[in-house]
């Protein structure tokens, strides 16, 4: 019987590890969607890889013939009966001592009881793990469909729209700088600095065309104004069109658009001692609902900020600097997170400090981390030779040692 207990304990630990790996793999496939440029890429990734390696081999059996809820109750019933039967646990302990697994009977009884309790605890936590896996699988499937719909609607037309739009903009057009910013905001060009440089060069070399306003040219190729939205939560005083506005009563957060951010003046950060930028939207929402302090102003940063969002951050910094406010930024503990932090610090907030991006944070959550390959490791190693990333060198060394990176969502 002692063999049955020890085998059950080992198998349960293995099951938990496998579920963690499944969760990590689903997150990895979800993240890979950002790298796919065509519908065929998404279909190949889903049907040739995700369906075969994840759905058919692991996820589907886990939900059907190998369903945990199906076996959970009988297993718990047996374990609870063992836990309530001290003579039975003594007999298990005697068997364990005879086989040399423990020094004496007292130690063996204690270990038998601990292992039974461990198995029961692990099964209690399995429901939450399975719910999270279901949520991640649903999110991946939904994101795949949305990405395919987006590509099907835009792949054939966006290049032509950009070419037609740029040929209609002339060097004489006084609003062409606004056009470039509009393109950056609405089309979400990833390499923003490179894109802006090329667009400006193209505009300066373009021959004169018919005289159209920016709105007419944008409308003519199917691109309309869609201002960015900025989320934050905390005490902020602004002036807009000579009217004062206090955001402090909005304790659950608020949103303004880029037009408001561009025109408003931040007149004060009432009793704010710390400003915290958060990259991930889910972490932002979780933080303001559970962890935000009264003296904090929390800003949803998102990925690499656009020029208009950078202008908003600059206004925040100037207002906070006047009141000696401290500034912090929380991103993924990975290449992207380090780049986002350094860009914000070097371009706007020299005193910026990282939050939950150090060795302690990494160690505390690394069991939920994601593995990376040699190519990713070499990119991390390059940062060790760059002084602007010195603040992250200790955690980067840990990442390289464990071959793990951390997404912010792991902290929720």
Helix ranges, 323-407 (H): 335-347, 359-365, 374-383, 393-402
Is the pLDDT at 195 greater than 70? The verdict is no
- pLDDT at position 315: 96
- According to DSSP, residue 236 is labeled -
Residue 82: strand, helix, or coil: helix
The CB density around residue 272, as the number of other CB atoms within 10 Å, is 22
Q: What share of the chain is helix, strand, coil (3-state, %, to 5)?
A: 65, 10, 25
pLDDT value of residue 370: 92
Lowest mean pLDDT among 54-68, 216-230, 259-273: 216-230
Distance of CA 73 to the CA centre of its chain: 35
| Domains of the chain, residue spans | 2-154, 158-220, 229-411
**Is residue 102 helix, strand or coil?**
coil
Q: Reading across the β-sheet that carries 265-268, which strands appear in turn?
A: 243-246, 237-240, 265-268
**pLDDT of amino acid 188:** 45
* Close Cβ partners of 313 (under 8 Å, ≥ 6 residues apart): 277, 299, 305, 344, 348, 349
Strands 353-354 and 326-330: parallel
Average per-residue pLDDT for the chain: 82
Six token digits for residue 1: 């019987």
HSE, side-chain direction, 13 A CA sphere, residue 16: 18
Residue scoring higher pLDDT (261 or 72): 261
Q: Please, which residues bridge with residue 232 across strands?
A: 254, 299
User: What would the mean pLDDT of 291-303 be, rounded to a whole number?
Assistant: 94
Beta strand residue intervals within 60-144, DSSP E: none
Average pLDDT on 100-121 reads 86
Residue 217, pLDDT above cutoff 70: no
Query: Please, which residues have CB within 8 angstroms of residue 187's CB and are 6 or more apart in sequence?
Result: 158, 162, 223
pLDDT bin (cut points 50, 70, 90) of residue 226 is: low
Based on DSSP, count helices (H) and strands (E) in the chain, helices before strands.
Answer: 17, 11
* Average pLDDT for 257-275: 94
Mean pLDDT of 231-249: 95
Structure-token pair, residue 59: 């996820």
For 301, phi then psi, to 5°, come to -85, -45
**What percent of the chain is modeled with pLDDT above 90?**
40
Helix (H) or strand (E) holding 237: strand 237-240
Cβ neighbourhood burial of 125 (10 Å; 0-12, 13-18, 19+): exposed
Q: How far is CA 269 from the centre of its chain?
A: 28
Average pLDDT over residues 41-59: 79
Backbone φ/ψ region at 384: left (φ over 0), alpha (ψ -120 to 50), beta: alpha
pLDDT over 60 (residue 47): yes
Residue of 33 and 296 predicted with greater confidence: 296
pTM: 0.51
For the cut 80, the answer to whether the pLDDT of residue 24 exceeds it is: yes
Q: Which fold has domain 229-411?
A: Dna Topoisomerase Vi A Subunit; Chain: A, domain 2 (3.40.1360)
Q: How long is the chain?
A: 412
Asked if pLDDT for residue 128 goes beyond 80, the answer is yes
Q: What is the pLDDT of residue 356?
A: 96
pLDDT computed for residue 295 by the predictor: 95
Confidence of residue 175 (pLDDT cuts 50, 70, 90): low
With a pLDDT cut of 70, the percent of the chain lying above it is 81
258 touches 228 (CB < 8 A): yes
pLDDT computed for residue 161 by the predictor? 55
pLDDT value for 139: 86
Q: Which of 75-79, 259-263, 340-344 is least confident?
A: 75-79
Confidence grade of residue 355 (pLDDT, cut at 50, 70, 90): very high
Residue 73 — pLDDT band, cuts 50, 70, 90? confident
Q: Which has more confidence, 36 or 342? A: 342
Given a cut of 80, whether residue 159 has pLDDT beyond it is no
More confident position, 144 or 217: 144
Distance CA 202, CA 196 (A): 10
Is the per-residue pLDDT at 143 higher than 80?
A: yes
**Which has more pLDDT, 15 or 356?**
356
Output the pLDDT for position 179: 54
Phi, psi of 386 (to 5 degrees): -110, 120
Position with higher pLDDT, 274 vs 115: 274
pLDDT band at 194 (very low <50, low <70, confident <90, very high): very low
249 or 56: whose pLDDT is higher?
249
Q: Are 268 and 188 in contact (CB under 8 A)?
A: no
Bridge partners, 329 (sequence order): 277, 354
Q: Tell me: pLDDT of 155 over 50.
A: no
Inter-residue contact 203 to 167 (CB < 8 Å): no
What is the average pLDDT across 143-154? Answer: 73
Residue 108: Cβ within 10 Å count = 23
Whether the per-residue pLDDT at 79 is higher than 80: the answer is: yes
Does pLDDT of 219 surpass 70? no
Supply the pLDDT for residue 189: 42
Structure tokens at 126: 């399995």
Taking residues 137-149, what's their average pLDDT?
Answer: 82
H/E stretch holding 297: strand 296-300
Average pLDDT over residues 45-56: 78
């Amino acid at each position: 019987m002692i063999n049955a207990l020890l085998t059950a304990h080992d198998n349960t630990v293995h099951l938990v590890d496998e579920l963690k790996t499944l969760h990590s793999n689903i997150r990895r496939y979800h993240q890979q969607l950002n790298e796919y440029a065509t519908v065929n890429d998404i279909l190949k990734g889903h049907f040739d890889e995700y369906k075969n390696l994840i759905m058919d081999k692991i996820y589907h059996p886990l939900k059907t013939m190998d369903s945990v809820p199906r076996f959970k109750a009988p297993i718990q019933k047996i374990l609870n009966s063992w836990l309530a039967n001290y003579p039975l646990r003594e007999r298990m302990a005697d068997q364990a001592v005879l086989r040399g697994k423990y020094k004496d009977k007292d130690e063996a009884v204690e270990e038998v009881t601990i292992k039974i309790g461990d198995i029961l605890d692990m099964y209690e936590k399995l429901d939450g793990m399975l719910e999270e896996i279901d949520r991640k699988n649903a999110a991946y499937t939904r994101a795949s469909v949305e990405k395919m719909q987006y590509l099907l609607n835009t792949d054939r037309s966006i290049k032509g729209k950009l070419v037609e739009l740029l040929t209609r903009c002339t060097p004489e057009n006084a609003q062409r700088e606004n056009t470039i910013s509009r393109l950056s905001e609405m089309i979400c060009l990833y390499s923003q600095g490179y894109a802006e440089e090329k667009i400006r060069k193209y505009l300066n070399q373009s021959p004169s065309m018919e005289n159209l306003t920016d709105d007419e040219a944008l409308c003519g190729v199917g691109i309309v104004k869609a201002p960015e939205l900025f989320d934050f939560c905390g005490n902020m005083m602004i002036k807009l069109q000579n009217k004062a506005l206090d955001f402090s009563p909005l304790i659950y957060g608020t949103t303004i658009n880029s037009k408001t951010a561009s025109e408003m003046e931040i007149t004060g950060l009432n009793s704010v001692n710390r400003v915290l930028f958060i990259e991930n939207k889910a972490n932002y929402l979780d933080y303001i609902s559970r962890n935000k302090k009264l003296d904090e102003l929390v800003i949803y940063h998102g990925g690499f900020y656009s020029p208009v969002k950078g202008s908003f951050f600059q206004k925040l910094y100037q207002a906070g600097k006047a009141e000696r406010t401290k500034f912090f930024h929380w991103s993924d503990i990975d290449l992207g997170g380090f780049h986002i932090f350094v860009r914000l610090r070097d371009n706007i907030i020299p005193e910026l400090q990282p939050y939950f991006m150090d060795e302690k944070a990494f160690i505390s959550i690394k069991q939920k981390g994601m593995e990376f390959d040699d190519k990713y490791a070499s990119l991390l190693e390059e940062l060790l030779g760059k002084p602007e990333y010195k603040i992250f060198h200790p955690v980067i060394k840990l990442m390289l040692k464990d071959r793990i990176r951390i997404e912010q969502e792991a902290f929720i």
